[in-house]
Structure 1
Amino acid sequence: MTLKLNRLILSGLIFILTITTLSAQNNKSKSYIISKSDSYTIDIRSNHPDIQLFSEEKKWIGDKDDNRVKGNRIDYTTAFEDITDVEAFSISPDKKKQKVKLIQTADVEIEDIFYHDMKYKYYYFDGLTEGSETYSSYKKLYRKPQFLDKFYFKDNLDCKNSRISLKISKDVEIGYLLHGDGTDKIAFTTSSEGNYNIYNWELKDSENEETFDSAPPISYYSPHLIFYIKSYKTNSGVQKVLGSVDDLYKFYFETTKDINKTSEVALKAKADELTKGLTKNLDKAKVVFDYVQESLNYVAFEDGMGGFIPREAADVFQKKYGDCKDIANLLNEMLNHVGIESHISWIGTRHNNYTYEEVPTPIVDNHMIAVANIDNDYYFLDATGNFSIFPNPSPFIQGKQALLKIDADHYKLLKVPVIAAQNNNTTAKIKFTLEGNAIKGNVDLALKGFVKSEFVGNYNSIVDKNELLKNYLSRFVDRISTSAITVSNNDLSEQSTTIKSDFKIDQWAKNIDGKLLLKPILFFPFSDSRIDAVKRNAPYQFDFKKSYDFNYEFELPEGYTPEFIPENFKLDTNLVSAAILYSQVGNKLMVSQTMTLNTILLNKSDFENWNAAIKSITKYYNQNIILAKK
């Protein structure tokens, strides 16, 4: 899914264990960062930017067993960066200095990437006790002016002082942007020193950046600085680097201008074979898309500029594997061959929330797709998944900008739509009767859109399909027992996947003084999704908008009539909508239950309204009907 792996790592020193790894709760003093700083110097040497970073960090140790203080890690890419002068030592409470014994180098482990040039240096401190201090520093040389790091002011420990300084030659013009929450607390100063402009950003007394379930990446909320070189002066004039989307596109175009020189006879013949007899471009696009998705295996190679340049479409077609840019390139070539206007396109996934206009650097994107113009409608085609359903985009590019390659001087920026909740729908028809204190019946589920893709991807790849189906149904009612489960349309068609099953739920009804009490609602979407608005600082992210339409048919037991039926319920907010409607038709109680998730991201300002809505919905989920003897 990557181009070159985007700059996802925090600048400066990175801990061997991720920031989600915490030591067990104890009464020991809290460790904290005394100071951390990144100091950049950018000069022009031999008519080219010379970019050097000196990074250092000091910590005070409270709990020596806290994994966050045991060691450090420095990530880098060998093709574009050099790490030198690594220094690390600890100082005991009685002022004894102890250098780290061993600084090692290892390959970064990244799922789904077969080969890459990303490495890290790491080391551990010895002899730490409460009151110890650690010191770490290194130098980094950047070979490509387009690939600079972000700087995150907060960290996985409280930090007394966090600072980034840029010492920039007056022959260099830079751009910069503060992003995330709380940037108003970051002090900014600028000054001049000889032939340099000096920029300083500083944050004092920050609390540690916690991680939370279902949170987007920290680029959404953790305060950080992005800076980039716009241009620099040389003996031959001003050289542009990354001052605008135009500049970024020119850089990207250079990486792709010489691709697809190998003969494409075989892939074109395959495209002709797939589309033979088809007259509509949408039909042609679907069969080509499905073929590429089903036939190719995702295998990524991230080696230097090879992480940015798509491989020859003919080679990818022959070998049947590639990464996102390779697969996008092949799909693009096949679509164009059968007469469909298509463009390879750079795009950032929802891993970040930048736009090309505000961050015109390679930080903004980490993915490539094909964008097809069919009957004046644009389709954002990502064939890197196994079960994406044409013509939907993949969930993780919804709402993002795509940068379409047109020619050397022209490009187009388009925004991927967020797929409507009604298109990602779960419909259920549930019929049940009462047997003693148990209910027994059958359910007929229909899944479409992303809901279908998610289910089919899991179902078709798992060995124990019956267990998966039982777990899928039991996520609605944990005490449900199922039998006679069948699945149909578990394919790449737009037709809904159907799941049919008989079920039984014991001890669902209560007999109190001859009257029967039971809940007519069996499925409870989002009933457990209230958010701790006090403790949680991060947004809450959903994969996609979705909707539920459940229709229940409860056959009343002989000799009983409803004494109490809950009132109808309806709620409509910009975050979530729901309705529960009751009616009686003869000896059957009919219940219509609908729910719609109207957003893919809850910001902290939404938490209170979200919790109020879920509380109200859950209250009506739990309403009982009362049946009395006639």
Structure 2
Amino acid sequence: MRTALTSLCLSALLCCWMPPSAHARTHPSVLSAPAEESTNFVIREKKERYEFTRGDKSNPVWVKETSGTIFRCNEFREAIPIVTFYNDYSRVEEIKAWVDGDRFKVKPEHRYHAIEDIFYADARICGFMLPFKKKGTESRTEIEKITIDPRYFNTVYFQEDYLVESKEVTIVIPRWMKTEIKEMNFEGHGIQLVKSYDKKLDADVFTYTAARILPGKSEPGAPGPSYLYPHLLIFSHSADSPAGTATYFGNLQNLYAWYHSLVAAVDNDRDAVKSTAAAIVKNKSTDLDKIKAIYTWMQENIRYIAFENGIAGFKPATAQDVLAKKYGDCKGMANLTREMLASLGFDARLCWIGTRHIAYDYSLPTLAVDNHMICAVLLDGKTWFLDATETYIGFDQYAERIQGRQVLIGNGDKFELARIPERTFEQNRQTEKRALRIEGTKLTGTAAHRLSGECTENILSSIHQIRSTKLDEALQEYLSKQNNQYRIANMRTSDLHNWNTDLVIDYDITHNDAVSAFGDELFVELDFRKEMDDAAIDTARRRHDYWLPYKRQLVQETVLALPDGYKVKSLPPALDVNQPNYTFKATYEQKNGQVIYRKEIIIRNTRLQRKDFAAWNADIRKLRQAYLEQISLTKK
């Protein structure tokens, strides 16, 4: 949890009214940042203090958080948003502000965090606009906040939404509190630590200071904040109190026990979902087919809506509630999947997992370690993982975001650790075969596509975004790239509602103005799609590594029949880029009165490091140049 009451700039204000589209259960450890770095404001000074204090009978330990921030306006008069998130386990105590030295009356607005009019359960937002009188003036805020359960105090980031000239973070840990602090990503940031002892509080005091901290930067395809920015992980193990020892997260068993206590308290009515489950599998004869049927039904009939923060971030909605409403977050969807399968007699279990967005694994017992829940079902000695939030991916296929990730599998009071299977690029395969002929300035013929894995998910997600009805028309728009010169007719597809088999699409093509004639010569450009021609990385502006969406293999073959009376004058040179993480190939061959064009793109590893950007860009330039080459035909 990013526990400081942060001033999150313009993008965060938008987050107040337009919640994030995270694809799984997310914690507030996600560092928000403006899309474009602002130079109008800097944080001249920020001081944060976190102190463990005695709480009440229900929650014996609280964390008192105070922060003071001085903003300076550099360029022009403007107001900026100041926002914070809180929930049933935290509260905002006081907010004060000063503008150019004068006390400013704060009128904070409190809202539930909502998406499409569906509230984020107990997640709430408090925010107001902080003005600046003119260039060179300063405004200041002081904020107090209480977290009433130290489990939720787990992450403190040093980055802010603006350049920070000076920052101080102080953590006060009384000797009766057993807490561990782990420093993450400190290298190269010049952060200094001074340890001291406060005799009056009988507490150890950890004071971190840093200067000139660059703002966090949101970039498409960037690793999650836990990989990028300096931060502290806080592990609250236990606390001694007059009533005895309160145990929090001293080890993974403690973490799992808390998770299990939450799911055990969910009042599932298994009988309420059993009839639906039975109807789904009534025509299925094998156990595996029944599991597949439940999984596919969940993907197609239960809409994913993200919830976050507080107990809503960790405790699932009841299975019957998700079934009735036809929507849920990842926890609710995993819970309903588990209950449906269990009602049919299967050994189904809930699982906790951190997606690739998170840098940690379960060696770190903290709520920051995971952000997602799925279901596992054990059958004949094998474990199958079911993530119904992945709407269009097949059974036993796994999204890049969870492949290879450590997973915590529940089993009553016990747990098991496993890993989601890794998949190669072969899971996500996309082929296109075209047979074309020249008719005047047109190319006509047929095309056949076959897609699997995340390639299927990508195309089905895209056509549903184009329009929710008339999927055939949306598919035509997608395949033609909405180019009215590329006409598709007589389209035939496999079942668009069955993604457990390859997606197959066949159709007839008329590509107008695809052939240029000059005297006795014809010029033909055979690659219509030009995949990844815009994949170069702006190295001047990009700060972070780039993660491609998923591993994949793309194979395209186009056979062009030579028109009567013509022969090949020249064919484009071959492209052969073969790097450890990717391959780009393109070849042309003349054979039996035809020109055969073959292209293959393979992404073996999705993670591109900044040191590899120059080589990547050079290879993308080669690919782009290959796309510009044309076949030259001349009269015999």
Aligned to 1:376: 381
Residue 108 (structure 2) aligned to one of 85, 95, 103: 103
Cα separation, 1, equivalents of 2:225 and 2:434: 42
Aligned to 2:256: 249
8 Å Cα contact 1:16/1:73 also seen in 2: no
Residue 455 (structure 1) aligned to one of 431, 455, 459: 459
8 Å Cα contact 2:444/2:509 also seen in 1: yes
Residue 227 (structure 2) aligned to one of 195, 220, 231: 220
Deviation at 1:57, TM superposition (A): 0.9
8 Å Cα contact 2:185/2:228 also seen in 1: yes
Cα separation, 2, equivalents of 1:354 and 1:245: 13
Cα separation, 2, equivalents of 1:482 and 1:275: 37
Percent identity of paired positions between Structure 1 and Structure 2: 23
Cα separation, 2, equivalents of 1:9 and 1:595: 44
Cα shift readout 1:27-50 (whole Å, capped 9, x = no counterpart): xx7421101222111134568223
Aligned to 1:211: 218
Residue 84 (structure 1) aligned to one of 93, 101, 116: 93
Is 1:364 paired with 2:363? no
Cα shift readout 1:74-126 (whole Å, capped 9, x = no counterpart): 2211x1112122111111xxxx5251453332223345843522222222234
8 Å Cα contact 1:23/1:65 also seen in 2: no
User: What is the TM-score with the length of structure 1 in the denominator?
Assistant: 0.88
Unaligned runs of at least 5 residues, structure 2: 13-31
SS across alignment from 1:520: coil
* Aligned 1:203-602 pairs, distance under 5 A: 203-235=210-242, 238-259=245-266, 262=269, 264-276=270-282, 278=284, 280-298=286-304, 305-314=311-320, 316-317=322-323, 320-358=326-364, 360-408=365-413, 410-460=414-464, 462-463=468-469, 465=471, 468-475=474-481, 480-512=486-518, 514-602=520-608
Is 1:15 paired with 2:12? no
What is the aligned length? 611
- Evaluate the alpha carbon distance shift between residue 604 and residue 553 of structure 1 in structure 2; reply closer, same or farther with a 3 A threshold: same
Cα shift readout 1:276-318 (whole Å, capped 9, x = no counterpart): 5755332121012223333434466669535433344355445
8 Å Cα contact 2:179/2:235 also seen in 1: yes
Please tell me the root mean square deviation across aligned C-alpha atoms, in Å.
Answer: 3.1
Residue 80 (structure 2) aligned to one of 36, 56, 70: 70
SS across alignment from 2:376: strand
Residue 41 (structure 2) aligned to one of 25, 28, 31: 31
Bigger drift between 474-483 and 577-586 goes to 474-483
Bigger drift between 52-61 and 503-512 goes to 503-512
8 Å Cα contact 1:112/1:299 also seen in 2: no
Bigger drift between 440-449 and 96-105 goes to 96-105
Deviation at 1:154, TM superposition (A): 2.0
Deviation at 1:555, TM superposition (A): 0.8
- Evaluate the alpha carbon distance shift between residue 320 and residue 438 of structure 1 in structure 2; reply closer, same or farther with a 3 A threshold: closer
Cα separation, 2, equivalents of 1:437 and 1:371: 56
Cα separation, 2, equivalents of 1:616 and 1:153: 41
Deviation at 1:533, TM superposition (A): 2.2
Cα separation, 1, equivalents of 2:137 and 2:228: 32
Cα separation, 2, equivalents of 1:302 and 1:604: 32
Deviation at 1:582, TM superposition (A): 2.9
SS across alignment from 1:185: coil
Aligned to 1:614: 620
Q: Which AA in structure 2 matches 1:58?
A: I
Aligned to 1:604: 610
SS across alignment from 2:338: helix
Cα separation, 2, equivalents of 1:589 and 1:182: 56
Deviation at 1:147, TM superposition (A): 0.4
Deviation at 1:254, TM superposition (A): 1.5
8 Å Cα contact 2:8/2:33 also seen in 1: no
Aligned to 1:4: none
